[in-house]
Amino acid sequence: MDLKDSMYYIPARRQPKRKRVAIYARVSSNTKDQLRSLANQVSALTQKVSLVEDWRLVDIYIDVTSAEAKSKREEYNRLIYGSRNKKITIVITKSVSRFGRDTIEALETVRLLKELKVRIIFEKENINTLDSTGEVLITIMASLAQQESESISKNVTMGLRYRYQEGQVFVNHKKFLGYTVDEEGQLVINPKQSWIVKRIFKEYLEGKGTGIIARELMEDKVPTATGLLKWTSDDINRIIANEKYMGDALLQKTYTVDCLTKKRVPNDGSVPQYYIEDNHEAIVSKEIYNLAQKEKARRSNLYSGKKKKRRLYQGKFALSGITQCGKCADIFRRITWTYKGKKTYVWRCVTRVEKLCECESRTINEEDLHKIIVEAINQYMANKSEAEKN
């Protein structure tokens, strides 16, 4: 028998890859009627998936939670996670109302899954988010979301301002170093953290720079309010400037400018503010807080020399920024001289170092400068004691 008689031609044909489909169903409570509705949702959607040849059901996500619930839906979040990890290519659900608890949430998820190339099919509305009808859906939902968000935002804002007028303070204590809240929601001192705040104010008033304070906190493995071991100069500045550490509270420092994105900006006077004195127990006294603000202002306005050049505050050494030239009134800077491997520390007039203008002020050895200062302090104390006796 000729082999050619038993040969058959099989054309090249790649089998289409089956699409990975997930079902999402939600009901608002676990009552008998709601659970029956849930079973019907899942049954109908499962049958629909089975009728499409290139679809393969990979998972079913079920949430039992109301539209008003503020807690996160575990199955909904698991669905998002599966989409991010390319486990799913299609999500099928009964309707828009069953998919998102509100228009805003549904819109955000539709946009997210669209970016991930995951289509959502709403059976009741017969909408596919990756085709032209999906674009219409997104447009409509965006409009509805805007109206819904503006309405909610307006109500929340009015409620908050009323509470502010009543002197009620709301603080995210989880990110507020030194404080927590009691059962009534009032700010109370957290002794496990308050010592950190006291240390920061103390070291700041002793002359240390914010960068140095931050670095030493990290070296000592002191945690931030969120438990991290990373401190920055900005962190220290925010603590120094926060009036709540002296027991007062300034409300509405920021406000929302976009109700959809929830973007907040510093309050430049566009909306009213409310200041409450002695709202809660202070970690530092008002005297210490106010001294810190004066020191902060002083450091921000350092001008020296005949030309009144602005200088950056340096708190690395005890005499930084406070030792002044008797010739031109500029500050002295600590300089390291190295000769034959031996280091010598001296203080020199910045004007002379930078040659901004002629200054004949001489260089002073650090040891000699320290001796002069100690002698001056001793003389001052002796004269003060003598004056008090008389």
Strands 179-181 and 187-189: antiparallel
What gap in Å lies between CA 129 and CA 108, rounded to an integer? 13
More confident call, 370 vs 331: 370
pLDDT (average), residues 218-238: 94
pLDDT (average), residues 374-382: 86
Tell me, what amino acid is at 69? A
Query: What whole-number percentage of the chain has pLDDT above 90?
Result: 30
Work out the number of other CB atoms within 10 angstroms of the CB of residue 371.
11
Structure tokens at 265: 């900006």
So what's the pLDDT on residue 87? Answer: 93
Kindly tell me if the per-residue pLDDT of 6 is higher than 60: yes
Kindly tell me if the per-residue pLDDT of 9 is higher than 80: no
Query: Taking the model in full, what pTM does it have?
Result: 0.53
Q: Would you call 308 helix, strand, or coil by DSSP? A: coil
Mind listing the pLDDT tens digit for each residue in 123-171? 887 888 888 777 677 667 656 656 766 676 666 666 666 666 665 666 6
Mean predicted lDDT score pLDDT of the chain: 82
Superfamily name and number for 19-146 = Resolvase, N-terminal catalytic domain (3.40.50.1390)
pLDDT (average), residues 8-34: 81
Question: Residue 58 burial by CB count (10 A; 0-12/13-18/19+): exposed, middle or buried?
Answer: middle
pLDDT (average), residues 259-280: 78
Are the C-beta atoms of residues 129 and 137 closer than 8 Å to each other?
yes
Mind listing the pLDDT tens digit for each residue in 72-84? 678 989 999 999 9
For CATH 3.90.1750.20, the residue range(s) in the chain are: 173-293
So what's the pLDDT on residue 380? Answer: 84
Q: Output the CA–CA distances (angstroms, integers) from residue 336 to 92, 163, 268, 289, 321, in the order listed.
A: 72, 58, 45, 36, 17
Per-position DSSP letters for 36-64, written without gaps between them? HHHHHHHHHHHHHHHTSTTEEEEEEEEEE
Which residues, 6 or more positions from 339, have their beta carbon under 8 angstroms from its beta carbon? none
Class of the domain covering 173-293: alpha beta
Task: Tell me which residue has tokens 């839906």.
Answer: 73
Dihedral, CA of residue 269, residue 270, residue 274 and residue 275, to nearest 10: -20
For CATH 3.40.50.1390, the residue range(s) in the chain are: 19-146
For the chain, counts of helices (H) and of strands (E): 11, 16
